[in-house]
Chains A and B, each alone.
Chain A
Amino acid sequence: MGERKGMEIALAAAEAAALCRPDVVAAYPITPNTHVPEHLANIVSEGKLDAEYICVESEHSALSACMGASGAGARVFTATSSQGLLYMAEIMSIASSMRLPVVMALGNRALSGPLNIWNDHSDIMSQRDTGWISLFASHGQEVIDMIIQAFRIAEDADVLLPINVNLDGFQLTHVVEVMDFPSQSEVDAFLPAYKPFASLHPDHPCSMGTLGLPEIYSEATKAREVAIVNSRKTILKVWAEWEKAFGRRYEPVESYKMEGAQEAIMTMGSMGETAEIAIDALREKGIPVGLLKLKLWRPFPYEDVRKAAKGLKSLLVLDRAVSFGGPGGPVASEVRSSLYGETDRPAITNYIFGLGGRDVAVEDFIKMFEKMRSGDKKRSKDQYEFYGVRGE
C-alpha cells in the first residue's frame, strides 16, 4: 500500500522518479527545478536508490549523458527548466531521432530576457517541435503519477521516444501538497524493467547516430512523426491501466463541469486548478460554463479537443506563452487547427497571460470570461490579446 503525505512537489517529483528505479540520473541545477536533482542526490546518497548520479557540468552534458546511458541500455532521468532546456536544445531533437526514452521533469519557467525565474510556458514551447512527448500536470498528484507513467510510455516498445513532464515552476515545484505516493511494489508491478531495442555492448555491436543523407532523412523524420502520433495509443493504454491500479483517471483533455456547458475555458498546467474555483463561482451565478484542462500537449489530442468543443458556442483558450509575430498563444493555435474543419465550431478567444510569474487569481478568470462575453466587436474572433498587461 502506498502512503498519503504532504511534501513539496519538486521533492515528490524526485521521489516518484526514484520509485521508477532509474539506473542513471544526470541533471544540472536551475531554479525552480533544483530541488528535483538535489532530492534525488539525497536519495542516492542515502542508499535508497542504486543509481549512478552524474554531477554534470551543464544541461547540454546532462542530456548528452542521459543519451549515452540510455544508448547503453540504462533507464535514465533528468530534470531542468528554462535556460537549462535551451542549453539542451541541440540535443533534444537528437534524443527523439535516436529513439532514446529519456524521461525529463521540466519545471516550467520563463525564458530570459529579461532574466526571470518564475513560471510560464515559453521554455517548453521553444522545444515544441523536437519530437518529445509532452505531458502537463496541474497539481502535485499528477506530477507523481505522470512521472511514473512517463517511464512506461517512453520505454514501451511501440513508442521509444523521450518524454517531458511539465510542472509549473513555483506554482507547482515549490508548493506543499498532500499526495498519494504509490508503494515500491505497486510501482514495480506497473513498470517493468526497461528492455532496450538495441544497446551499446560488444556482445551485439551496433552503430547509433549515423549520418543520414537526403535519401534517408525524410524517411527518418516521417518515422519519428508516425511514432509520436502512434504513441497516443500507448498513452491511453497506460492511463487506463493506471486508473485500474491506482483509481485516478487521466485523459488528454479533462473536463470540469462541462455538463450542459455552452461556453468553456481551456487551460494547460497549474492554472486549471485556480480556474476550477472560478468555474464554481460562475456556475453558482447560473452561467452554463465549464473547464477543459489539456494534459497531453504532444502528441496533440486533436480528436479529444473536437469532441470536447462539440456544442460549445464560445471557447476561451488561455496561453502562458506567445509565438512572437505568429498566431498568438501556441495552445490556441492548435485548438483552432483542431476545429477549423468543423462546421459547428465555437468562437475562439485567446488571452495570453500569467507570463514570467505574473499572478493568476480566481478573479482574473472571471474577468477574462466576462471580457470574452462582452465581445469586443471590433476584433475578429481569431485575434488574441494580452490580458492584464500595462501599456495597451
Chain B
Amino acid sequence: MNTLKGHPVGLIENFDLYAPKLVDREEYFTPGHRACQGCGEALAIRLMCKALGKDTVIINATGCMQVISSLYPTTAWELPWIHVAFPNAAAVGSGVEAALKVLRRKGRIPNRDVKAVAIGGDGGTLDIGLQALSGAMERGHNMLYVCFDNEAYMNTGIQRSSATPFGASTTTAPPGVASMGNKTWKKNLPEIMAAHNISYVATACNSYPLDFMNKVKKAREIDGPAYIHCLSVCPTGWRCPSEACIKMGRLAVETGVFPLYEAEQGRYRMTVSMPENLRPIQDYIKHQGRFRHLTPEQVQSFQERTNLEYKKLLNKIEHSKSWAEMSANQG
C-alpha cells in the first residue's frame, strides 16, 4: 500500500485509497439518469444504495429522484424499485414489507432478509406523505425510510415545503416588499420520528458520505422501523453553483444549521464532531441565491434561532439515556 513514510494517513485525505475497501463498488443507482449537475440527492441515493447492498427493495415517492431515474423505457435502478404516487411511499413500503415477510414465511420467496427501503423528498415526507409515514412507523414495519431533504418541492419548480428554511426564497414564498420569503422555521421531522419511539433516527448529509453510509448500514440492521433524514443539496433550487454541492452540505453542518446526529434507542449522539464555536450562518447562506434578499436583521434572527435549536440538540445529547439504561436504573 502506498503510504507516506512516517506520517499518519488521514482517511479523508486518502479517500481514493481507502474508498474501494470501504464502499461497495457495485453501482445500484447507475449513471445516465437525468439529475442536474451537482445534484446532492442523486449522490446521496447512490451512496445509500451502496450501503444497503443487493438485498433491497426501493419504494420511491414522486419527486425529482423518481422522475430523473425512471424515464420509460430506461431505468437507473439495478435494485427492485417501485413508484406509485407522491404521498404514499411509506404506505406502499408497508405493503412491500408485509409481502416480503409473509411470502418468506410461506416459502414462496427465498428465505433471506430483503429490506424494504422507502424514499421521498421533503415534500413527499414532511408534507403530503406525513400521515402515511407516521402510520408506517407507528405500525412497526421492518422498513427504513430515508428522506432526501432539499428543502423545497424541486421537481415542480422550487415551491416552499415545511422543510424550507427560514428566510429562503421559493416560488410560492417569494420575497417582496410585503414579504421576506419563507417566514417559518423548518419542521423538525427527525424529532417527530423519534417521538414515534422507533429504535433508530438519524440526520445525514450528502457531503459526509461515510457518516451517511454508516447510518444506512446501522438502520438496515434494525428489525423494525428506522428513519434517516438526509440533507441533500440542490444547486438548482438553492441558487448556488453545481460544484458547490459538497461545500454547501459541509457548511450546513459546520454552522450548526444541520448538525449530524443519531438517536439510537433514545440516546442522542453527535456523529460528526462539531467545532467548539459554530461558524456564523453567514458563511453558509452567503453562497446561496435563495437567501440573497435577507436583511442583516433577518440574518440575525436566523442566527439566533439556529443557536437556540443547536442548544436544544446539545441538551438532548448531554442528557438523553438509552432505553436500556433507563430500564436498568428503574429498580
Q: Answer yes or no: B157 CB below 8 A from chain A CBs.
A: no
A207 near B88: Cβ-Cβ < 8 Å? no
Interfacial chain B residues near A52, Cβ < 8 Å:
98-99, 101-102
Max chain A C-beta neighbours (<10 A), residue from B71, B77, B81: B81
Identify which of B82, B87, B99, B108 contacts A209 (C-beta below 8 A): B82
A61 near B88: Cβ-Cβ < 8 Å? yes
In B100-152, the 8 Å CB interface with A consists of: 100-103, 105-106, 108-110, 114, 131-132, 134-136, 138-139
Q: Answer yes or no: B83 CB below 8 A from chain A CBs.
A: yes
Identify which of A74, A206, A208 contacts B103 (C-beta below 8 A): A74
CB closest chain-A residue, reference B59:
A68
Tell me the complex Cα distance, A193–B91, Å. 25
In B58-105, the 8 Å CB interface with A consists of: 59, 66-67, 70-73, 75, 77-85, 87-88, 90-103, 105
Tell me the complex Cα distance, A209–B93, Å. 14
Q: Answer yes or no: B55 CB below 8 A from chain A CBs.
A: yes
In B137-172, the 8 Å CB interface with A consists of: 138-139
B85 near A94: Cβ-Cβ < 8 Å? yes
B99 near A24: Cβ-Cβ < 8 Å? yes
Q: A68 with B91: in contact, given A50-B105, A210-B72 (CB under 8 Å)?
A: yes
Partner-binding segment picked from A112-120, A195-203, A360-368: A195-203
A64 near B91: Cβ-Cβ < 8 Å? yes
B106 near A50: Cβ-Cβ < 8 Å? yes
Q: Answer yes or no: A124 CB below 8 A from chain B CBs.
A: no
B82 near A65: Cβ-Cβ < 8 Å? no
Tell me the complex Cα distance, A50–B95, Å. 15
Tell me the complex Cα distance, A341–B52, Å. 61
B72 near A200: Cβ-Cβ < 8 Å? no
Q: Answer yes or no: B54 CB below 8 A from chain A CBs.
A: yes
Identify which of B54, B72, B100, B138 contacts A211 (C-beta below 8 A): B72
A61 near B135: Cβ-Cβ < 8 Å? yes
Tell me the complex Cα distance, A66–B95, Å. 6
Q: Answer yes or no: A137 CB below 8 A from chain B CBs.
A: no
Size bin of chain A's contact surface: 35 or more
CB closest chain-B residue, reference A204:
B80
A202 near B80: Cβ-Cβ < 8 Å? yes
Tell me the complex Cα distance, A204–B96, Å. 15
Interfacial chain A residues near B197, Cβ < 8 Å:
none
Q: A205 with B95: in contact, given A54-B139, A91-B84, A91-B85 (CB under 8 Å)?
A: no
In A45-75, the 8 Å CB interface with B consists of: 50-52, 54-58, 60-62, 64-74
A32 to chain B: closest CB distance in Å?
Answer: 24
CB closest chain-A residue, reference B98:
A52
CB closest chain-B residue, reference A217:
B72
B58 to chain A: closest CB distance in Å?
Answer: 9
Q: Answer yes or no: B42 CB below 8 A from chain A CBs.
A: no
Tell me the complex Cα distance, A352–B238, Å. 56
A70 near B95: Cβ-Cβ < 8 Å? yes
Interfacial chain B residues near A210, Cβ < 8 Å:
70-73, 75, 83
A271 to chain B: closest CB distance in Å?
Answer: 35
Q: Answer yes or no: A216 CB below 8 A from chain B CBs.
A: yes
A208 to chain B: closest CB distance in Å?
Answer: 4
A57 near B72: Cβ-Cβ < 8 Å? no
Q: Answer yes or no: A180 CB below 8 A from chain B CBs.
A: no
Interfacial chain A residues near B320, Cβ < 8 Å:
none
B96 near A213: Cβ-Cβ < 8 Å? no
Q: A64 with B92: in contact, given A202-B54, A211-B66 (CB under 8 Å)?
A: yes
In A112-135, the 8 Å CB interface with B consists of: none
A73 near B99: Cβ-Cβ < 8 Å? yes
B72 near A213: Cβ-Cβ < 8 Å? yes
B60 to chain A: closest CB distance in Å?
Answer: 8
Interfacial chain B residues near A204, Cβ < 8 Å:
80
Tell me the complex Cα distance, A193–B102, Å. 14
A104 to chain B: closest CB distance in Å?
Answer: 14
Identify which of B95, B100, B132, B139 contacts A60 (C-beta below 8 A): B132
Q: Answer yes or no: B57 CB below 8 A from chain A CBs.
A: yes
Interfacial chain B residues near A67, Cβ < 8 Å:
82, 84, 92, 95
In A72-109, the 8 Å CB interface with B consists of: 72-74, 76, 90-91, 94, 98
Further contacts, 16 of them, CB under 8 A, given A90-B87, A202-B54, A208-B81:
A23-B106, A24-B102, A52-B99, A56-B91, A56-B94, A64-B94, A67-B82, A68-B98, A70-B99, A71-B99, A72-B57, A202-B79, A205-B78, A207-B82, A209-B70, A211-B67
Ordered by A's residue number, 6 sampled pairs between the chains whose C-beta atoms are within 8 Å are A54-B95, A67-B84, A68-B94, A69-B96, A71-B92, A210-B75
Interface residues of B (CB under 8 A from A): 54-57, 59, 66-67, 70-73, 75, 77-85, 87-88, 90-103, 105-106, 108-110, 114, 131-132, 134-136, 138-139
Across the A-B interface, give the 8 residue pairs with the lowest CB-CB distance, nearest first.
A68-B95, A57-B135, A65-B95, A61-B91, A72-B99, A64-B91, A69-B95, A68-B92
